[in-house]
Amino acid sequence: RMFPDEQSHRQAVMRKEVAGAVLTEPISGWQYFEAMLPRTIEAIFNVEHPVVKEQGTRAAIISGDSLPEKVSLAVVTTPQLRSFGDDLVARWKSQNIDASLRLIDDAKLRQETIPKRDYDVLIYGVDQGVEPDPFRFWHSSQAIEAGLNLAQLKDPDLDRLLEAARLIVNDAERFEKYGEIEKKIDELSVRILLKTMTITYQVSRKIKGVEEPLMINPASRYNLVWKWYTNERRVHKTEDGGQKTD
């Protein structure tokens, strides 16, 4: 059985549909592609919780500095993302941080834990979609029960940048503004980027016309499959400008 990505395999393991996996090397003579997906795994600080409310504390945690006083953090994630939580908890022990990892199934996380913002740190998969508009993740208006501002961040300067980006029609200028927004978010020390998701796939060299499409999810690699072909014909131009095939 083949899986489109690592997370799908992990979910199948958790459901006991498979017992393990076999890693394969690139197939000799095949076309090899590696594409970045608009999905990241992030550790997001809940800035409304007293233990991580101060930007200086969050910055020290992110930079790897040892804290002067012991801090206890409740880290929440799903079983599928447990490996990221285990790595983070182990790393923080050396920084005088007593971090506990709580695993919650995806349905309960979405329906109860996230709306209540019941965590100090949330390890979560963030899907950017076709348009990587960060407004829904970081604007103060989204720091509500039904919103996606999981950090509960409320920063007026960031709000102004997010609002300005939505008014820019030119793609190049808008994406330049997105760069400013990302820099501002990093300055506020509200998240740790743990992984940018990628997908690798291989296609036989017998297949021609393979192009790398815009990747939204693992299935996107098939979006241009209609351009693939295997058979070719030799076409000759005639004297009158027409064509004939062999």
pLDDT for 7: 64
Q: What is the pLDDT of residues 104-139, one digit of tens each?
A: 999 999 999 999 999 999 999 999 888 889 999 999
pLDDT for 34: 84
Return the closest-CA partner of residue 52 out of 126, 141, 122: 122
Return the closest-CA partner of residue 65 out of 92, 34, 33: 92
pLDDT for 203: 85
Distance CA 4, CA 88 (A): 26
Q: What is the pLDDT of residues 158-175, one digit of tens each?
A: 999 999 999 999 999 999
Residues of the chain below pLDDT 50: 19-23
Q: Residue-wise over 79-112: b if at least 16 C-beta within 10 A, else e?
A: ebbeebbeebbeebeebebebebeebeeeebeee
Here the tokens at position 95 are 């920084």
Helix (H), strand (E) at residue 185? helix 171-188
pLDDT for 243: 60
